[in-house]
Structure 1
Amino acid sequence: MPEPRITNPAALLPEAVKAINLLYKETHSVGLPASTLELVHLRASQINGCGPCVDAGARAAKKNGETDDRLFAVAVWRETPYFTDAERAALALSEAATRLADQADAVPDEIWAEAAKHFDERELSALVLWIATTNLFNRINVTTRQQAPQNWG
């Protein structure tokens, strides 16, 4: 495993952490199920190859009652029966918003419309901001080669 390139930037720039914490607090305050937010965080982190976020996200979800079946299946959510229609819509939105360069219409109307069937405008706003925040975490960690902790005991 390669060594981190630098200390995590969040540790070096504490004012940035305050802004990130405000995003976290706001996106988690609108009433979206915490499990939905955890699933989209985990899926975006898997796509981006962010070891610390996949590790921490799966552990946090498990601690908050998520089942092994669902956690093990997030990467193949389309092929498993473990997720609600609303969760599937959120996961599809998370994938599209994370893979912006993969297609000309990065977030197709069908994906947005499906999400809008399950979430109101405030919830959609929080979901979009949470996906973007997750991608921020992922990009910081991957760019600087941050590692998942090895002392979880």
Structure 2
Amino acid sequence: MQARLNAANLVQPEVLSAVNALYKASHSAGLPGSTLELVHLRASQINGCGVCVDAGARAAKKNGETDDRLFAVAAWRETPYFTDAERAALALAEAATRLADKADGVPDDIWNDAAEHFTEQQLAALVLWIATTNFFNRINVTTRQPAPQNWG
């Protein structure tokens, strides 16, 4: 696969500043880093973003995530590896990523389940992180950004 556009052309100083602010806001609300990484990986899998799947899995592994959990993210409902809070976050990520698949993009039961596990501030950060992940996925898929062949 060859990129349609050099991704560096998209990252102007004001864009980088805005992205850093989104990242900081999402990661400063007290959500476990592992939950944010799982959500990022799942949304990226759904969107077919090779760059984010690759980088997300590597970052999660570097931060202590187990192979069992990483290998099972796409089938999280059918595996015993995830906590109830992580399952709620993954369900929210899937619904928010697949908004057009249902008339009610994020049904109340999915939202309410997440709200049982996270504070309002954490929920806001989780929604922001899901949106940020989808933002990057759409840029990378649209411009055909390949995952690096060698991370060195």
- Say whether 1:104 aligns with 2:103: yes
Aligned residue in 1 for 2:88: 89
Superimposed CA distance per residue, residues 71-126 of structure 1 (whole angstroms, 9 cap, x where no aligned partner):
00000000000000000000000000000000100000000000000001000000
Alignment of 1:1-153 (within 5 A): 2-8=1-7, 11-153=10-152
Q: Distance in 1 between matches of 2:77 and 2:126?
A: 19
1:37 partner letter = L
**TM-score when scaled to structure 1?**
0.97
Q: Which runs of 5+ in 2 are unaligned?
A: none
For the aligned residue pairs, the C-alpha RMSD in angstroms reads: 1.0
CA contact (8 A) 1:9 1:140 kept: no
Q: Which runs of 5+ in 1 are unaligned?
A: none
Paired-residue identity, %: 77
Shift of 1:11: 4.8
User: In the aligned structure 1, how far is the partner of 2:40 from the partner of 2:29?
Assistant: 16
Q: Which amino acid aligns with 1:101?
A: A
Change (3 A) 1:100 1:9: farther
What's the CA shift string for 1:3-50, capped at 9, x where partnerless?
A: 100111565423111101110011101110000000000000000000
Give, in whole Å, the separation in 1 of the partners of 2:151 and 2:26: 27
**Cα distance in 2, alignment partners of residues 9 and 102 from structure 1:** 32
What secondary structure sits across from 2:30 in the alignment?
coil
Aligned-partner Cα distance in 2 for 1:64–1:114: 27
Q: Measure how far apart 1:152 and its partner are.
A: 1.8
**Which ranges of 4 or more aligned residues in structure 1 deviate by more than 6 Å?**
none
